[in-house]
Amino acid sequence: MSISSEIDEYRVLLSQVVDQLDSIIYEIEDYTLNPRSRLKEYHDLKFDAIPILRKLKDARKYAKHSYDHYESH
Q: What is the pLDDT of residues 6-61, one digit of tens each?
A: 999 999 999 999 999 999 999 999 888 876 666 666 667 878 899 999 999 999 99
Judged by phi (left if over 0) then psi (alpha if -120 to 50, else beta), residue 38 lies in beta
| pTM summary value | 0.83
pLDDT at residue 14, as a whole number: 97
pLDDT at residue 40, as a whole number: 66
Q: How many domains does the chain have?
A: 1
For residues 29 and 50, is the Cβ–Cβ distance under 8 A?
A: no
- Which domain range does residue 53 map to? 3-72
